[in-house]
Amino acid sequence: MFKINVKDFLSIAVSKVLIKSSKILFKGGSNFPGRVALKISSNVLKTAASGYDVILVTGTNGKTTTTSMIYNMVKDSYKNVITNATGANMLPGIVSCFTANYKWRKKDEKRYAVIEVDEANVKLVTEFISPKVITITNLFRDQLDRYGEVYTTLNKILDGINKVPDAVLVLNGDESLLGDLKLPNKTIYYGFDCAINDQSKIDINADAKFCKKCKTPYKYNYIIYNHLGDFYCENCGYKRPELDFYIERITEINSNGSLLWINGNEYYINQPGVYNIYNGLCAFSVAKTLGIKNADIFACLKSQSSSFGRQEIIDIDGKQVKIILVKNPAGFDEAINTITLDKRNISIAFLLNDNYADGRDVSWIWDVKFEKFNQMNLNKVMVSGVRLYDMAIRLKIAGLNYKDFDICENNEALLKSIQGLEAPTVYILATYTAMINLRKFLNGKGYIKKLW
């Protein structure tokens, strides 16, 4: 055993006990042990994370999936690695992750930690950890009551990056907010070097439509989705940075995954949707930055399984139920675009909550293009969650046949509705706490074996 101070020793020991107890008694509890640890020693994260090469993953959408991809790439290249797989991405949850994996006897082998971190918590983490890599997936309007507009979110992240000038930044080059940040850090950019459609005019509801330097509306050679794409400003000349890692061609994209070319090599991403191409490209870029071989990256992307609540597939009495987390207009629209790739007769459930972790303001649902569902062959539409009537009204206005809506007041009613369906395929689009509560309910019913 190597020497640590008494406070840190006690903090880590108590946290370990609480983590084990929480798993047995509550089937979870990732944040509480970390909160207690921080009460005992505010400096515990610095001690617990000592000896790790840390990769921080932040941004609005795609954090959990991208973190999982990077973790698997590092693990499959035979490296010792940990991650906060439960998605507990606030400071207490991250402390819990490190204390749970803390070894009392120090080993010489190199260790990695791939850590998902909430945007507002980056500055809290970099107070104690100097990461090897920080990657930012994208910046969209999300939880406006907590973050405000995207520029506020960017500044929260930059507050954390400013503390760690030696960290390598791996940034989404198609994200106009992330170009020319004037930071001393080595910066690597990834993005699309090809169009996926003929869209070059930005939507009225898109985020970050105006030049960050002169406020002139951006022009685009092509748009991938929302405001992500090959942008440029006609007034001041600001444009997308040169890409280090890039999608050069997409051979196939369907409801199961995508076949594409990255920097001269062909890869298959075993997760559907354009947003998962971005997640895969981000993970690829971080892996290459860490020196991981193409073969390990290829194998991981081809076999990547869904993280909980992120395209997770559950069997409910012979029905294939796919749960998709939705939390803002940009992500919801891309989830809808992905579902439209499925040409089968399907049913859809919408679960809308307004708890703190979801964001209290649900007016954002009016920016989502639910009208696209009118082009699909829907067997049944189910609506549930705390704000189910807000969602039902929005869907009615979008043109869906409200007379056929199944209003489910609770998860028990939703389960019965799913069990009675004729079509074997169900998509559940749920906000964060609605997804968590549904998974706990299905775990209690035996449909989900592993809660976290």
Per-residue pLDDT tens digits for 401-424: 988 899 999 999 999 999 999 888
Q: Cα–Cα distances in Å, from 318 out to 49, 294, 314, 406, 424?
A: 44, 38, 9, 20, 7
Distance of alpha carbon 243 from alpha carbon 35, whole angstroms = 40
Taking only the tens place, the pLDDT of each residue in 331-353 is 999 999 999 988 888 999 999 99
Report the 10 Å Cβ neighbour count for 365. 21
Distance of alpha carbon 299 from alpha carbon 159, whole angstroms = 36
Cα–Cα nearest to 90, from 50, 42, 122: 122
Fold designation for 310-444: Protein-Tyrosine Phosphatase; Chain A (3.90.190)
Distance of alpha carbon 68 from alpha carbon 46, whole angstroms = 23
Residue with tokens 């029905």: 319
- Write down the pTM of the prediction: 0.92
* Residue 317 CB burial class (10 angstroms; 0-12, 13-18, ≥19): exposed
Catalytic site residue 367?
A: no
* Residue 382 CB burial class (10 angstroms; 0-12, 13-18, ≥19): buried
Give the pLDDT score at 19: 86
Q: What does the domain layout of the chain look like in residue ranges? A: 6-303, 310-444
Q: Which runs of consecutive H residues, i.e. helices, occur in 77-172?
A: 91-100, 122-125, 144-147, 150-161
Q: Which amino acid does the sequence have at 432?
A: Y
Is the pLDDT score of 2 beyond 60? no
DSSP annotation of 306 reads: P
Percent of the chain at pLDDT > 70 equals: 96
CATH 3.40.1190.10 fits 6-303, yes or no: yes
For residue 91, what are its two tokens? 């400071």
Is the pLDDT score of 369 beyond 60? yes
Give the pLDDT score at 402: 87
More confident residue, 223 or 107: 223
Strand, helix or coil for residue 311: strand
Taking only the tens place, the pLDDT of each residue in 240-286 is 999 999 999 999 999 889 999 999 999 999 999 999 999 999 999 99
Report the 10 Å Cβ neighbour count for 196. 18
DSSP annotation of 239 reads: B
Report the 10 Å Cβ neighbour count for 318. 8
Query: Containing H/E element for 224?
Result: strand 219-225
Virtual torsion, Cα 29, 31, 35, 36, nearest 10 deg: 20
Averaged over 222-228, what is the pLDDT? 96
* Residue 322 CB burial class (10 angstroms; 0-12, 13-18, ≥19): buried
Give the pLDDT score at 29: 64
Which residue out of 358, 361, 390, 404 is catalytically annotated?
Answer: 361
Is the pLDDT score of 452 beyond 70? no
* Residue 147 CB burial class (10 angstroms; 0-12, 13-18, ≥19): buried
Give the pLDDT score at 308: 65
Give the pLDDT score at 31: 85
